[in-house]
Amino acid sequence: MSALALRHDVGSSLTIGDGEVDLVRYVYVPDTPRLESPKPFLHPIHTRSGRLVSLFRPHDHVWHKGIAWSLPHVGDENFWGGPTYVHGQFYVQLDNNGTQQHRRVVDVGVEGETARFTHELDWITQSGHTVITERRTITAALLSDAAWALTFDTAMTNISGQGIAFGSPTTRGRENAGYGGLFWRGPRSFTGGGVVTPDGVGGDELRGRRAEWMAFAGRHDGDDAESLVLVVDHSANPHHPPRWFTRTEEFACLNPAPFFSEELVVADGDTVRFRYGTGVADGGAADAAALADSVCRVLRREDARKPT
């Protein structure tokens, strides 16, 4: 396996490379319209062979951006993008599209076989109030000649002066629409692909199912090659194992949704932490279980690391 390289465009983004392939770009100061709730995102994301496994700003949901930490109901604020679900009215465009704003870089570089980036953010409502401060770490590590892992670690502190209820359209009354959290949007060609769980392979009927991990096996136009994207929910996350907002029809997505059908209320001054591991591989559904094991080992290694 080759070593990772990191290119930091200070004040904008960083790109993690593997030889001639850019595995991922993390844009931490995005140029995003207010309506789409500006937030950092990971895109483009590639396999080690260079195949693209993410989609940016699709016409059907322009606020979907590769992989992003997106929350549709932070109290009455929208840090997801677009309209807000209002029971009895469906989706309504409100003046509540907040921003996850980068404040400062804490750590950046390659340490051993892991590329790492830590920064602090402020969650600012459309009316200009900072309600959450966040410390976020993104890492990348090679797993094999065909796979690599990305970890996402966030600690969010409520500074709003009151309790905040994190929820979803389902907690607000829309059935089986519990999206929110770490959300991956796959390429158009992945539509109709296979969702893999520890119990087997399925499709849209898995939406709302609880699982420690899920993977998505999709095919690429041009050469019909298959790629695999997997997300592991850390066992210490609130509401673990989560219910998943997963789709194969209409579009491809994976989302371990911690507030799918149950709100999480964080008191003023309290901090809540979420950790995830993502695997990206040149391979198919049969490789999912082994990929999940490898990603879990990376998460355990991160757990053992002394915090910055």
Q: How many CA atoms within 13 Å lie on the side-chain side of 78?
A: 21
Model pLDDT, residue 96 = 98
Q: Which of 23, 1, 11, 228 is CA-nearest to residue 115?
A: 23
Label residue 204 by pLDDT band (50, 70, 90).
confident
Give residue-wise pLDDT tens across range 57-88.
Answer: 999 999 999 999 999 999 999 999 999 999 99
This model's pTM is above 0.95:
yes
CB 69 within 8 A of CB 57: no
Element (H, E) at 114: strand 114-124
Label residue 201 by pLDDT band (50, 70, 90).
confident
User: What torsion do the CA atoms of 154, 155, 161, 163 make, to the nearest 10 degrees?
Assistant: 80
pLDDT value at 239 more than 90: yes
**What's the average model confidence in pLDDT over 121-130?**
98
**What's the average model confidence in pLDDT over 88-111?**
97
Model pLDDT, residue 205 = 80
**What's the average model confidence in pLDDT over 163-190?**
98
Tokens of 134: 């966040």
pLDDT value at 308 more than 60: no
Model pLDDT, residue 307 = 64
Q: Give me the chain's average pLDDT, please.
A: 96
Model pLDDT, residue 174 = 98
Model pLDDT, residue 156 = 98
**What's the average model confidence in pLDDT over 127-149?**
98
CA distance 40 to 29: 6
Tokens of 31: 């140029």
pLDDT value at 1 more than 80: no
pLDDT value at 216 more than 80: yes
Share of the chain above pLDDT 70, in %: 98
Model pLDDT, residue 126 = 98
Q: In which residue are the tokens 């592991």 written?
A: 232
Burial of 54 (0-12, 13-18, 19+ CB in 10 A): buried
Model pLDDT, residue 47 = 98
